Amino acid sequence: MSATEAIANGKRIVIKVGSALLTDKARGELNQAWVDDFSAKICAFLKDHKEIIIVSSGAVALGRKEMGISSDIPPGKIPLPLKQAASAVGQPHVFNGYALAFAKHGVGVAQVLLTMGETENRRTHLNARATLQELVSKGIVPIINENDTILTEELRFGDNDRLAARVAQMIEADTVILLTTTSGLYTADPGTDPKAEHIPVVETVTEEHIKMAGDALPGLSTGGMRSKIEAAQAATRAGISLVIAGSFDGKCTLFKAMEHAPNSRKRWIATHMHPKGVLVIDAGALKALKEGKSLLPIGVKKIEGDFERGDAVTIKTADGKIVGIGLSAYASEDALKIIGKKTAEIHEILGFSGRDALVHRNDMALQT
C-alpha cells in the first residue's frame, strides 16, 4: 500500500509535512517547487472529495538564515528563545509557500497555530475543532503548525508528528500521513545497517517498534522516527490509521487502526461538538459518577435543551461545572418526567420500561 492508496481509503485525512521536505537546505529557503508539486496533489485529492488538513513543519528551519543559526546545529541544540524567534521569522515563509501554491488551483488556505495546552483544554479544543470543521466544510485547507513562539519547553509538543495525531483525534480524521525523508519503519537504521529491512505493515505498535526507531535525528528533523512511532501509537489506539511515507507513491509503513480501540467510543463521546442538552446533577450523583457508576434519574435535578434518545448531553453540577458528556438513554420529554424519581418508578411514570440509567456509564466520558 502507498500513501495515495491510504488516502483513497479515507475521507478526512491529516497530512504532516516534515521540515526537510519543504526546505532547500543549501539555501536555507523554502523549496517552492516541492510545495507546488505537493499542493497540486492535495488539490487532486480535494477534487476526489477528500477532506485534507495539513500539519506543516518548517518554521524553525526557514527562520534560521535570518536569525543567523547555522544549518549544522540540530533543532534540539538551538536555545529555546532563539528557536522561538526563528519560528516567528520562518512561519510566514511556510504559510506563504502554501498560499501561493494553492492559489494557483483557486483553493484557499488558513493558518492555524495550536499548542498542546489548547488541544487538551476542553473549551479551546472544542473551539479549535469547530474552526477546523468550518474551514474544511468550505473547502479551505488548514495549514497547522505548533505555536512555537509562546511555548515553554514543558508545554510544547516539540514535534509535529504527535501534533498531527492529536489534530486527527480532535477532528475525527480516519487517516494520518506523516510525509518525511524515509519510506517508513525499518528493522534497523537503513543508513548504517545494510541488513535493515523495510516493514510495510504494523498491526499493533509495540515496545519493539519503538526500539527499532532509535533516537537518531537526521538533519533538520525534530522528532525523528521515535516521535513518529509514538504518534502512530496514539493514532491507532484512537482508531485512526497512520502511514509513514517518503512520497505519495513510494513504499511506506502502514500502522493499522485498532478496530476496537478500547477508548475510541468514549473519545468519540468526549469530542462531541454540539451536545443537545444539559443534565444538572446533585452531589450524590457526582460521587457515583466519579466511582464509575451510571447516572440514575434520581440524581438529576434539572434538564435543559431539547434532545432525542441517544443524543449527547453535557453533565454539569448545580454550580455549572462540567462533569462530562454522555449519551442520554431518554429523550428530553421523557427525561423531564423521571428526574428525581427512583428507577423502579420509571415504568409507572412513562408507561414503558426504558433503561435504568439516564446515562449509562459506558455511554459517558467524564472530564478529568
Closest by CA to 7, choosing from 55, 41, 58, is 41
Cβ proximity to ligand GLU, 10 vs 58, nearer residue? 58
Rounded CA-CA distance 324/364 in Å is 7
Residue type, 154: E
Cβ proximity to ligand GLU, 4 vs 87, nearer residue? 87
Helix extents (H) in the chain: 3-9, 19-22, 32-47, 59-67, 80-103, 116-120, 122-137, 160-170, 207-213, 224-237, 264-270, 283-290, 332-338, 346-350
Cβ proximity to ligand GLU, 75 vs 354, nearer residue? 75
- Per-residue interface string for the shown chain with ligand GLU, residues 122-161, x marking contact by CB under 6 A: -----------------------xx-x----------xx-
Binding to ligand GLU, residues 260-319 (CB under 6 A) = none
Helix (H, G, I), strand (E, B) or coil at 249: coil
Residue type, 308: E
At its nearest, how many Å lie between ligand GLU and the CB of residue 90? 7
At its nearest, how many Å lie between ligand GLU and the CB of residue 160? 4
At its nearest, how many Å lie between ligand GLU and the CB of residue 60? 3
Q: DSSP state, 88?
A: H
Q: DSSP state, 27?
A: T
Q: Is 112 in the site for ligand GLU (CB under 6 A)?
A: no
Binding to ligand GLU, residues 15-54 (CB under 6 A) = 19
Binding to ligand GLU, residues 213-242 (CB under 6 A) = 222-223
Helices (H) and strands (E) in the chain, counts: 14, 17
Cβ proximity to ligand GLU, 60 vs 240, nearer residue? 60
Query: Considering CB under 6 A, how many residues would be counted as binding ligand GLU?
Result: 14
Residues in contact with ligand GLU by the rule CB under 6 A: 19, 57-61, 87, 145-146, 148, 159-160, 222-223
